[in-house]
Structure 1
Amino acid sequence: MKLDLPIIKFRGWDNASNQMLPVEKIDFRENCISLNEGDNSLSDTFEMIDLMQYTGLKDVNGKEIYVGDIVKCTEIRGEELKEYVSAIEYDDCDLIVHESEMCDTCLSLFAPGIEKLPLTEIEVVGNIYESSELLEQI
């Protein structure tokens, strides 16, 4: 029997250099995280790097969605079109779109075993570190 385990990966925001890079290694014995992309690599302590976990989901363009990403949700309900911008967060073991009038609908998009609504799109438009100004639209 083959188990379908979720993909576990992270990217990290280095607070010292203000860079977002993929996580190469997490060393729990040394309390250190190594980030690496091409020629750009760095290592720092847990306190200096904020981890963003991959949700296992992709947006409408195929881009991976991480906790801390800022997404634009577009919903069609009957003849109504609703668009809103929000950050992806973990809350009580669920992935949610936070601070949104349509939060319940977005919760269902991320809940295990529930089909994605056919008339809803989610697009990654930034993240809480590099484009926090997008959250002012909430």
Structure 2
Amino acid sequence: MIPKFRAWDEKHNEMIRVISVNFDEKFIRGLTEVENNLDIESSYNFEDIELLQATGLKDMNGVEIFEGDVLEIPVAIDTEKLNGEVVFEDGVFGIKDVLYGWGFEIGLVPLIEIILAKKVIIVGNKFEHPHLLKE
């Protein structure tokens, strides 16, 4: 499977749809949306963006989950919900620390375990919606 990516451009405060990655030259080609659903193609150096990989998993609505996404995770017999950021650490996509005490161990919980146990949905990402991760 060829990995999918998207990228966050901090300078312009926008998410970029990545169409190609050149790891040797350290740049991407990407599309950004402008008015009237038109896309502009541009090149971005790795130093100017944060490259985010798709996890290969989807939320309960069938939306693909990427690094940096914020997931709403039902806990406490599905009456309470927690938000957790998707991270890639030690070769695993997961949610770190927020689920301890809700049937998961402390530390990084693999995303596949969470998805198999809970009906998660993407509620945003850490760049455009940082308030979702505040307690």
SS at the partner of 1:116?
helix
Report the AA paired with residue 23 of structure 1. V
Aligned runs of 1:84-103 on 2, under 5 Å?
84-100=82-98, 101=100, 102=102
Contact 1:58–1:65 (Cα < 8 Å) also in 2: yes
Structure-2 residue corresponding to 1:20: 15
Deviations 1:13-47 (A, max 9, x none): 11221110211111233321111155222212110
Any stretches of 5+ residues in structure 1 without a counterpart? none
| Cα distance per residue 1:56-78 (max 9 Å; x no partner) | 1110111110011011001354x
2:60 and 2:130 mapped to 1: Cα distance? 21
- SS class of match (1:121): coil
Aligned to 1:107: 109
Aligned counterparts, 1:1-138, within 5 A = 5=1, 7-36=2-31, 38-75=38-75, 77=77, 81-100=79-98, 101=100, 102=102, 104=104, 107=109, 109-111=111-113, 116-117=116-117, 120-137=118-135
Ranges of 4+ aligned residues in structure 1 off by more than 3 Å: none
- 3-state SS in 1 of match to 2:28: strand
Q: What SS does the aligned partner of 1:130 have?
A: coil
RMSD: 2.5
Query: How far apart, in 1, do the equivalents of 2:85 and 2:23 lie?
Result: 28
Give how far 1:107 is off: 2.6
Q: Using the alignment, how far apart are the partners of 1:103 and 1:48 within structure 2?
A: 39
Q: SS of the counterpart of 1:129?
A: coil
Q: Percent identity?
A: 31
CA separation of 1:124 and 1:87: change in aligned 2, threshold 3 A: same
Equivalent residue pairs, number:
126
- TM-score, structure 2 as length reference: 0.79
When normalised by structure 1's length, the TM-score is 0.77
Structure 2 gap segments, 5+ residues each: 33-37
